[in-house]
């Protein structure tokens, strides 16, 4: 999916919601356990309940890898079920070089090789350009680069400053923008970093941001929209637990929470999106 198609989806739904499919066998409602594939049945129910409001789905790959071969089958069925006009993110956080990075890219981007056909993948930039460029070689596919995350350990490296007082996350972003343009490179920016949002948007004025941390983690959707929206909207705001674990009746609870977020997003689109 290219950027034009993504923006069209955002405009048609009045939403920039990404639903995270962090589906955990220990947390899904017990009634799904009678199904042959409980996680797929749960994902299917979530998708059915939220597809009117979501422009993206983000399976967290670790939750599927942890289940072994069965988990990969569940992930494939989930991907096949997601509507084709909805953006998909492999939240895999891969980071290696050369042929290994290329194999990771083929895993998620090349259906003739693996069966998967994700639109994007999250990538860790620590090993530099040769750990990112293999993912950028696929047409109409996106790299979502970890930039400014909101976990406690992010202070260990991301906020370190050089002799010019420039933080490491900013150097990473500026360097990465030499490797890929705004039509193929996004950045992960945590919603709880509200005091940095305007600065991060100034660094990358044209790029999309994947923004986790709204909802259960306490991030402010109002601040994200106010300080980080651009002329293409430029935002995919993720909610996982706040939607998928909102109640046992998924058709009601997930739809209710997704609709609430979508309605708030529609308001901010009207307020801040200058087309």
SS (HEC) of the chain? CCHHHHHHHHHHHCCCEEEEECCCCCCCCHHHHHCCCHHHHHHHHHHHHHCCCEEEEEEEHHHHHCCCHHHHHHHHHHHHHCCCCCEEEEEEEECCCHHHHHHHHHHHHCHHHHCCCCCEEEECCCCCHHHCHHHHCCCCCEEEEEEECCCHHHHHCCCCECCCCCEHHHHHHHHHCCCCCCCCEEEEECCCCHHHHHHHHHHCCCCCEEECCECCCCECHHHHHHHHCECCECEEEEECHHHHCCCCCHHHHHHHHHHHHHHHHHHHHHHHCCC
Whether 34 sits among the annotated catalytic residues: the reply is: no
Q: Which of 58, 77, 93, 232 is catalytic?
A: 93
Q: Which residues are catalytic?
A: 93
């Amino acid at each position: 999916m290219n950027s034009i198609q993504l923006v069209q989806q955002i405009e048609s739904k009045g939403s920039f919601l990404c639903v995270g499919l962090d589906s955990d066998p220990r947390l899904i409602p017990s009634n799904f356990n009678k199904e042959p594939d409980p996680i797929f049945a749960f994902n299917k129910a979530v998708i059915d309940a939220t597809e009117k409001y979501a422009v993206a789905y983000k399976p967290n790959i670790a939750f599927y890898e942890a289940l072994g071969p069965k988990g990969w089958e569940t992930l494939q069925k989930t991907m096949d079920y997601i509507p084709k006009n909805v953006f998909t993110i492999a939240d895999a956080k891969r980071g290696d070089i050369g042929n290994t990075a290329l194999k990771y890219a083929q895993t998620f981007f090349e259906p003739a090789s693996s069966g998967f056909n994700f639109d994007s993948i999250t990538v860790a930039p620590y090993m530099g350009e040769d750990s990112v460029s293999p993912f950028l070689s696929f047409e109409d596919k996106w790299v979502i680069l970890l930039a400014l995350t909101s976990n406690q350990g992010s202070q260990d490296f991301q906020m370190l400053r050089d002799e010019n007082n420039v933080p490491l996350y900013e150097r990473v972003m500026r360097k990465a923008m030499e490797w890929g343009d705004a039509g193929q490179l996004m950045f992960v920016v945590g919603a709880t970093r509200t005091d940095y949002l305007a600065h991060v948007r100034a660094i990358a004025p044209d790029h999309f941001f994947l923004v986790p941390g709204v909802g259960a983690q306490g991030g402010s959707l109002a601040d994200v929209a106010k300080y980080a929206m651009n002329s293409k909207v430029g935002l995919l705001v993720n909610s996982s637990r706040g939607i998928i674990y909102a109640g046992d009746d998924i058709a009601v609870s997930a739809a209710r929470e997704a609709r609430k977020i979508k309605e708030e997003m529609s308001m901010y689109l009207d307020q801040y999106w200058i087309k």
